[in-house]
């Protein structure tokens, strides 16, 4: 009888060996049929060439969010960013595009470092899953879910910044906490010849002299959040955002001055200033505001709901 029991035990071990080896190598259990069905239901079909591919949207959103917001931020601020990222991802899919950041976990290991990877990965996955399927909408359609790191103390109105009333939910809101950010203020200085050379690379028709350079620079217009709409330098007129890109500045909320013989450019905020200010959002989260409250603060009149497909 004892011999029969031993033979039976060996048979069980042999039968279970492939499963045990799989578990040992992968470090996790093999998915059950129910798990596989759940994952299949979370897949989203997107166009790809002449056909289509299926992606795990929540996994894709997690990778996007990881690169958009610091993991030192509060849970509700990160959940806010997850809804923003998912909204934009579905907008891309509706436009026939593949949402960005399709990399594996290797990119996140580089981003966070090996020691923080497991902790950040588990936390971010939980936060993204807690908002699974949720998107921000306006009158039934997906919004332009704009965001930036730090405002200049107030977010911009799309009506002023873009000259369009198409996005009424992108309204200017006060962000007093942004003034406390270490990224709020930046000052750069340039030699006059260096400054003009940079501009001439894009505008070879520039006519200006190095003497009394500051008198030849004029901010033509700015919006109520103090972001520059138009700048005139000599005979060249450019937009604030184009000038910002030309000098790789933190924002187009800028002003000019002189420091000795050098021209000084002072910027406030980090980013274009439209939509959600992540720094202010994080401060609201510290005050106990939930992600839907935060989104409603920055996007007045929007609705957060489960994505139901293109309208």
Over the stretch 188-211, which tens digit does the pLDDT of each residue have? 999 999 999 999 999 999 999 888
How confident is the model at residue 38, as a pLDDT?
43
pLDDT exceeds 70 at position 253? yes
pLDDT exceeds 80 at position 153? yes
How confident is the model at residue 103, as a pLDDT?
59
Contact partners, residue 271, CB within 8 Å, separation at least 6: 147, 148, 149, 150, 151, 250, 251
Over the stretch 74-126, which tens digit does the pLDDT of each residue have? 999 999 999 999 999 999 988 888 776 665 678 888 899 989 999 999 999 99
Round to whole Å and give the CA distance between 36 and 289: 35
Contact partners, residue 7, CB within 8 Å, separation at least 6: none
Specify whether the CB–CB gap between 128 and 82 falls below 8 A.
yes
How confident is the model at residue 259, as a pLDDT?
94
How confident is the model at residue 42, as a pLDDT?
60
Specify whether the CB–CB gap between 99 and 64 falls below 8 A.
yes
What are all long-range contacts of 156-161, with beta carbons under 8 Å and residues at least 24 apart?
156/223, 156/225, 156/227, 156/272, 156/273, 156/274, 157/223, 157/224, 157/225, 158/274, 160/223, 160/224, 160/225, 160/229, 161/223, 161/227, 161/229, 161/272, 161/273, 161/274
Task: Taking residues 152-165, report their average pLDDT.
Answer: 95
Domain locations in the chain? Answer: 2-30, 44-148+276-306, 185-268
At 119, list the tokens: 């902790």
């Amino acid at each position: 009888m004892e011999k029969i029991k031993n033979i039976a035990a060996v048979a069980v071990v042999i039968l279970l060996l492939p499963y045990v080896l799989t578990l040992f190598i992968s470090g996790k259990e093999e998915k059950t049929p129910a798990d596989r069905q759940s994952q299949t239901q979370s897949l989203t079909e997107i166009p790809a060439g002449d056909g289509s591919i299926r992606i795990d949207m929540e996994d894709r959103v997690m990778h996007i969010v990881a690169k958009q917001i610091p993991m030192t931020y509060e849970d509700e601020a990160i959940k806010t960013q997850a809804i923003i990222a998912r909204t934009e991802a579905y907008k891309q899919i509706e436009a026939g595009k593949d949402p960005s950041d399709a990399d594996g976990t290797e990119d996140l290991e580089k981003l966070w470092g090996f020691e923080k990877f497991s902790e950040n990965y588990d936390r971010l996955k939980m936060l993204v899953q807690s908002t699974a399927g949720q998107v921000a909408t306006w009158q039934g359609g997906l919004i332009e879910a704009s965001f930036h790191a730090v405002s200049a103390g107030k977010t911009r109105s799309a009506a002023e910044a873009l000259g369009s009333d198409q996005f009424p939910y992108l309204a200017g809101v006060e962000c007093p906490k942004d003034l406390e950010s270490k990224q709020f203020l930046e000052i750069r200085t340039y030699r006059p010849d260096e400054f003009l050379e940079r501009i001439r690379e894009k505008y070879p028709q520039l006519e200006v002299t190095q003497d009394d350079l500051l008198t030849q620079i004029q901010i033509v217009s700015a919006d109520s959040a103090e972001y520059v709409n138009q700048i005139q330098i000599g005979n060249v007129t450019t937009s604030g955002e184009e000038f910002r890109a030309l000098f790789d500045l933190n924002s187009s909320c800028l002003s000019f001055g002189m420091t000795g013989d050098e021209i000084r450019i002072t910027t406030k905020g980090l980013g274009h200033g439209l939509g959600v200010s992540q720094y202010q959002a994080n401060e609201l989260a510290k005050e106990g505001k939930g992600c839907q409250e935060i989104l409603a603060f920055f996007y007045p009149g929007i609705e957060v709901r489960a994505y139901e497909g293109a309208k």
